[in-house]
């Protein structure tokens, strides 16, 4: 499927280490990490990624967002020098920026192949769907550079894999393969790397077949009720259902 590169209007025209492409008559927007060979994510890029998600959120034509990468790896994480020198304020800002997919009302798919470490892993965890391949390796590498993982990253991961596995992953900076991530419930799909484009396109088409309004309401409902007691969540479901 041919995809045209689209330059967002200023001030987002000069994107740092990634680009935006559109397909499916503009209904599919791909955020493509493109800083080979490891697609390291800079602080400026984090801020721009957040701004791009806000721009795509405001575009009524866009229905589904895909986060993917060029080359052998999704992302090895943050620039090492920036990470080690980061202040508390800048670290909090980075965590907020990388959580942009979760705040977006539209479905967001992360396509992970090769290394998916550190900031790349955080970005993927904030997405609604994760597709892993037989080349995918996940790891939280903050410990190795004297840092701690972002709070939102740790919370999301705990909800997916449980507290014991979270400690195992974080405190040992443990690396796990895509198939194990799938077995643990971290990812939605596990496929051969040769099948990842087809699997992504099929998931996009499936999501596009659902009306936008109930789809966005469902995402908001699920996000809002995730930590609610069952009785309160039931009331929220009724409220959303009869809007």
> What pLDDT, on a 0 to 100 scale, did the predictor assign at position 154?
85
Q: Which two tokens stand for residue 28?
A: 């599919």
Question: pTM, whole model, 2 decimals?
Answer: 0.86
Determine the pLDDT at residue 150: 67
* pLDDT (0 to 100) of residue 12: 53
Q: How many helices (H) and strands (E) does the chain have?
A: 11, 10
Task: Specify the pLDDT at position 178.
Answer: 98
Beta-carbon contacts of 205 under 8 Å, excluding residues fewer than 6 positions away, are 24
Backbone angles phi, psi at 137, to 5 degrees: -130, 125
pLDDT of residue 173: 84
pLDDT of residue 226: 67
Q: Which residues in the chain come in under a pLDDT of 50?
A: 1-8, 11, 229-242
The answer to whether the CB of 166 falls within 8 A of the CB of 176 is no
């Amino acid at each position: 499927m041919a995809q045209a590169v689209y330059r967002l209007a200023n001030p987002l025209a000069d994107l740092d280490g990634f680009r935006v492409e559109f397909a499916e008559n503009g209904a599919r927007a791909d955020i493509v990490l493109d800083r080979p060979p490891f697609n390291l994510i800079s602080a400026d890029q984090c801020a721009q990624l957040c701004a791009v998600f806000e721009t795509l959120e405001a575009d009524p034509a866009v229905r589904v967002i895909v986060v993917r990468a060029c080359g052998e790896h999704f992302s090895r994480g943050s620039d090492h020098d920036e990470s080690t020198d980061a202040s508390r304020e800048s670290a909090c800002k980075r965590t907020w920026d990388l959580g942009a997919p979760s705040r977006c009302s539209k479905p967001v798919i992360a396509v992970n192949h090769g290394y998916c470490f550190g900031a790349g892993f955080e970005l993927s965890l904030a997405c609604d769907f994760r597709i892993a391949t037989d080349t995918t390796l996940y790891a939280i590498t903050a410990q190795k550079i004297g840092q701690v993982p972002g709070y939102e990253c740790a919370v999301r991961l705990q909800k997916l894999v449980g507290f014991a596995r979270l400690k195992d992953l974080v405190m040992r900076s443990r690396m796990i393969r895509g198939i194990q991530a799938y077995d643990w419930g971290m990812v939605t799909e596990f496929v051969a790397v040769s099948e990842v484009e087809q699997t992504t396109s099929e998931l996009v088409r499936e999501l596009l077949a659902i009306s936008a309004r109930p789809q966005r309401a469902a995402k908001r409902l699920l996000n809002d009720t995730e930590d609610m007691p069952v009785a309160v969540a039931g009331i929220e479901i009724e409220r959303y259902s009869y809007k």
